[in-house]
């Protein structure tokens, strides 16, 4: 058991080193055959009452599925990843048909939870909850529960059974670990495991009660990307069209998250000029979305 904790801790701290030292902004893995990108940093939102997780189905013709998934955590100012806020799940899609496509993709590609057996007559909220659980499960595998919140690297790892602020425990964080350091930290975890388990048990019922029904929204930035990838007009200019996306103040947060998702997913392909579906105007627009340069 202790070796398992040490191995898991090593992976967590290696990833923590990646985001603090190497500047990694996301983690990438697979959900079946779908590319899954999980942002390493939470968005801090003003005047927000909930702990939100956003699931974006990003059009991606370079993949067999035709889409990639991107997840982003959004928290109010002053809250960590382990909190008692009401939980909200928000699915952001490019069009009305995308939800059906997402369900179909997961039914075909995931066997662990047997989504294919999910009652298609059940409520949309129930189906979305199952989908979100599958995405969260895989996202946690590739991130090890690591998240940057306001510049602090936080870890909420169910295998370790404890929520920690890595920077606070290891001020000189590096990706190279020593056996002595792991032994020291394993001792810390062992002493705190029981208290943490009791705390989590007390919170579990509250969290279940506060889980809100999933929401679905059509994100105009994703819609614009879908149109750009499927149009036969080489002169189509998404950069000009995108100016109007920011006029609706209620959509600002969603457009910001979608801009980040598109930028991250397409960054390497644009850099290497690898996508046959992107015209010069599309590339100019996506480059303008590079949030890391702003």
Cβ neighbours for 100, distance < 8 A, ≥ 6 positions apart? none
Q: 168 or 238: whose pLDDT is higher?
A: 238
- Domain ranges in the chain are 2-218, 220-294
What integer is the mean pLDDT of 241-245? Answer: 91
| Interval 202-240: pLDDT, tens | 555 454 546 788 999 999 999 999 999 999 898 999 999
Termini Cα distance of the chain:
45
Task: List, as one string, the DSSP characters of 129-154.
Answer: HHHHHHHHHHHHHHHTTEEEETTEEE
What integer is the mean pLDDT of 2-9? Answer: 48
The whole-chain average pLDDT of the chain stands at: 76
Q: 48 or 153: whose pLDDT is higher?
A: 48
Residue 100 scores a pLDDT above 60: yes
Residue 101, pLDDT score: 85
Residue 125, pLDDT score: 74
pLDDT band at 163 (very low <50, low <70, confident <90, very high): very low
Residue 145's region, left for phi above 0, alpha for psi from -120 to 50, else beta, is left
Report the range of poorest mean pLDDT among 132-136, 160-164, 254-258.
Answer: 160-164
Cβ neighbours for 212, distance < 8 A, ≥ 6 positions apart? 50, 86, 87, 88, 89
Rounded to whole angstroms, the Cα distance separating 143 from 261 reads 16
Residue 83, pLDDT score: 85
What integer is the mean pLDDT of 232-253? Answer: 90
Q: Is 29 in a helix, a strand, or coil?
A: strand
- The predicted model scores a pTM of 0.77
Closest CA relative to residue 45, chosen from 98, 88, 107: 88
Using only the alpha carbons of the chain, give its radius of gyration.
20
Residue 181 scores a pLDDT above 50: no
96 touches 59 (CB < 8 A)? no
Q: Residue 201 has which token pair?
A: 């048990």
Rounded to whole angstroms, the Cα distance separating 131 from 98 reads 13
What integer is the mean pLDDT of 138-149? Answer: 81
Residue 167 scores a pLDDT above 60: no
């Amino acid at each position: 058991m202790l070796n398992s904790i040490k191995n898991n801790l090593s992976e967590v701290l290696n990833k923590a080193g990646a985001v603090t030292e190497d500047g990694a902004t996301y983690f990438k893995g697979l959900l079946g055959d779908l590319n899954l990108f999980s942002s390493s940093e939470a968005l801090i939102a003003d005047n927000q009452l909930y702990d939100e997780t956003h699931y974006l189905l990003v059009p991606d013709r370079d993949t067999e599925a035709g889409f990639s998934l991107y997840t982003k955590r959004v928290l109010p100012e002053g809250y960590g990843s382990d909190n008692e806020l009401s939980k909200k799940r928000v699915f952001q899609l490019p069009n009305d048909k995308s939800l059906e496509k997402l369900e179909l993709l997961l039914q075909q590609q995931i066997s662990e939870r047997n989504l294919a057996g999910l009652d298609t007559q059940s409520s949309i909220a129930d189906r979305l909850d199952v989908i979100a659980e599958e995405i969260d499960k895989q996202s946690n595998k590739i991130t090890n529960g690591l998240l940057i919140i306001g510049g602090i690297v936080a870890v909420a790892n169910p295998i370790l059974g404890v929520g920690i602020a890595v920077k606070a425990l290891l001020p000189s964080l590096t990706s190279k670990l020593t056996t002595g350091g792991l032994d020291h930290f394993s001792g810390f975890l062992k002493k705190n495991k029981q208290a943490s388990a009791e705390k989590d048990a007390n919170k579990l019922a509250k969290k279940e009660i506060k889980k809100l029904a999933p929401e679905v929204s059509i994100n105009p930035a994703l819609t614009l990307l879908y149109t750009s990838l499927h149009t036969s007009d080489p002169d189509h200019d998404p950069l000009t069209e995108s100016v109007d996306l920011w006029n609706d103040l209620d959509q600002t947060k969603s457009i910001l998250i979608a801009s980040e998702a598109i930028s991250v997913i397409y960054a390497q392909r644009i850099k290497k000029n690898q996508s046959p579906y992107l015209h010069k105007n599309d590339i100019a627009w996506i480059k303008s979305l590079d949030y890391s340069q702003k």
